[in-house]
Amino acid sequence: MATQARFGVIGAGMSGILAAIKLQEAGFDYVVFEKADDVGGTWRENTYPGIACDVPSHIYSYSFALNPDWSYLCSPGQEVQAYFQSISERYGILDNVRFGDAVARCTWNEPGWEVETASGHTEQVDWIIAATGILHHPKLPDIPGVGSFAGPAFHSARWDHDVELDGKRIGLIGTGSSGVQITGALAPRVEKLSVFQRTAQWVVPMAQEAYSDEEKQAFRTDADLLQDLHDKMSTGFNDGFGTAILDANSGIADDFEATCRAELQRIDDEDLRARLTPDYRAGCKRLVVSHNFYDAVQSNSVDIVTDDITAVEATGVRTADGKLHELDVLVYATGFHVDRFMRPMRIEGRDGVLLDDVWSERPTAYLAVAVPQFPNFFMLNGPNSPVGNFSLIQTAEMQFAYTMALLDHAVGEGFTTAEPTEAAAAAFDDERVAAATETVWATGCRSWYLDDRGIPFAWPFTFSRFRSEMEQPRLADYHFA
C-alpha cells in the first residue's frame, strides 16, 4: 500500500541523491527536480582552487555506500563531486532526475501536491522532500561599488576557470572556510594575494593526510575495517567534538581555543599574528579547518588587509586608510544567503498559506524537518538542522528515515497526510531558542549561524538527542488525516 505514494524530491545534491536512492530501494514512484545539469549540489557549484571537505571524508559518505578510495583524510572537492556522480550512476537514479528545470511552484491540492517547473511542466505527487540545502544562493557583500571592478570579478561559488591567475594580483574578500582554502591554494601561484579580512578566524589544524595504496586496498578487501573506521570517526566527531563544543560552559571550547592559539604561534611575525587572532571564543563561528593557511599567510605573496573596505573601484579595492589596492582579479568568498532554502519557489500549503509568509521573519521548522499547514512536506537539512561542524550526510540520513517512519504510521493507520501541529512546532521553537542562547555560538561574535535577532538558528542540542528524535517520531505532535 505504501508504494502507491508518489514522491517529488527537490534538488539532486547530497540529500536529494540520498532520498532518491532510498525511495527507489523501497519501491516508491518518484521524480527528482534539479535546476542544474548535473547532480552534486554545492560540490557541483563550488569548484574554486583548494576546495575540500572540512570533515573527514569517511564520515562524509553515505552509510550504505562507504568509499574505500578516499585519497585524503579530508578529500578535495572534485573527489567528493565524483563520489556523488558515481553513486548516482551505481544506484540508477539518473533516469528519474529532471535536470535543468528549476521548481517554480508547489501547491497543495488535497490530497497531494502540484509541482510546476520554470518551463511550465507540472507533476502531481503525494509527498515532497525538499533537499535544497542552504549553501546555494551566493551572497555579495554590502560594499559601495560592488559590480564596478573593471577586471574579472566573481563569487567563489561561481568560479571562472577561464581567468588566468598565475602571476596576477588577486583580491580575496572573505576569510571563512572558502577564503581560507582559496588562500592556501593561490599563495604559491600569484604575484600578490590581498586577503581582505573583516573578522579573524579560529583555525583548527588538520593535517592533510594521504591514504596509502595499501590502506585503500585494505579498505576495499575488508568491509569491517572500513565500517569500523567510519563508526569511530562518527562517534568522535559528532558525539565528541561536534556536540561538546556547543556548550559554552563545558570547557571543551576552551580546549579547542588552546589548540588554535598554539597553532597561531607558528606565525613568527607578531603583528601578523595579532591581526589573525580572533577577539571572540573559539567555536562562536563555525571552526575553520586548514592544513596550510598559516603557511600561506606568511609567504611574501600574501597580504592580510584588516582595514575596512570603503569601496570597490574599477581598478581595485580602497580601504579606510585611503589606500587603493590595485588588482587584476577580484574574488568574493563572502558566503551565502542561508535563509533561502526553497526560495524563490512559491510554496503554497493548506488553505493557500504561503511559506514565504510563514517565514516572513525567519525560517523555522518543527524538529528541523516540517512546518504546520504544509502536509506531506518534509525537509532534509532544513531550518534548525545540525549544521555546526557535524556531518550533514548523517543528518540527512536520519531525517529521511524519520520521514519514512511517519509515512509508515500514516499508511498503517489508513491516513494519507501528516503535518506537525501548531502547538508542537511552537513548543519546540521556544525550547530551541532558549537552548540556543546557552551555546558557544551566542557568546558574542557575528556569524552566519545567527538569525535576525542574533539567536543561533542551528540545532542547539546534543547530536545524541537529534538521533533519538529522528529514531522515534513523536506521533502525538502530528496531525494525521
pLDDT, residue 244, reads: 60
Label each residue of 50-107 as H, E or C: CCECCCCCCCCCCCCCCCCCCCECCCEHHHHHHHHHHHHHHCCCHHHEECCCCEEEEE
The secondary structure of 169-226 as a DSSP string is: EEEEE--SHHHHHHHHHHTTT-SEEEEE-SS---EEE---PBPPHHHHHHHHH-HHHH
Instruction: Please report, for residues 244, 251, 266, 288, 390, the alpha-carbon distance to residue 263 in angstroms, rounded to integers and kept in the order given.
Output: 21, 19, 6, 13, 22
| 3-state secondary structure at position 252 | helix
The secondary structure of 448-465 as a DSSP string is: TTB-TTS-B-S--S-HHH
pLDDT, residue 1, reads: 35
Q: Is residue 275 within a helix (H) or strand (E), and if so which, with residue range?
A: helix 270-275
- CB neighbour list of residue 63: distance below 8 Å, 6 or more residues apart: 230, 393, 394, 397
The tens place of each residue's pLDDT in the chain, 481 residues long, gives 344 899 999 999 999 999 999 999 999 999 999 999 999 999 999 999 999 998 899 999 999 999 999 999 999 999 999 999 999 999 999 999 999 999 999 999 999 999 999 999 999 999 999 999 887 889 999 999 999 999 999 999 999 999 999 999 999 999 999 999 999 999 999 999 999 999 999 998 988 899 999 999 999 999 999 999 999 998 877 766 666 666 667 777 788 889 999 999 999 999 999 999 999 998 888 889 999 999 999 999 999 999 999 999 999 999 999 999 999 999 999 999 888 888 899 999 999 999 999 999 999 999 999 999 999 999 999 999 987 656 799 999 999 999 999 999 999 999 999 999 999 999 999 999 999 998 888 988 988 889 999 999 999 998 889 999 999 999 999 999 9
Give the CATH number of domain 2-137+337-480. Answer: 3.50.50.60
Sign of CA dihedral 103, 105, 108, 112: negative
Fold: same for 2-137+337-480 and 153-202+246-332? yes
pLDDT, residue 243, reads: 63
Sign of CA dihedral 74, 80, 82, 86: positive
CA distance 174 to 171: 10
The residues spanned by each domain of the chain are 2-137+337-480, 153-202+246-332
pLDDT, residue 480, reads: 98
CATH class in words for 153-202+246-332: alpha beta
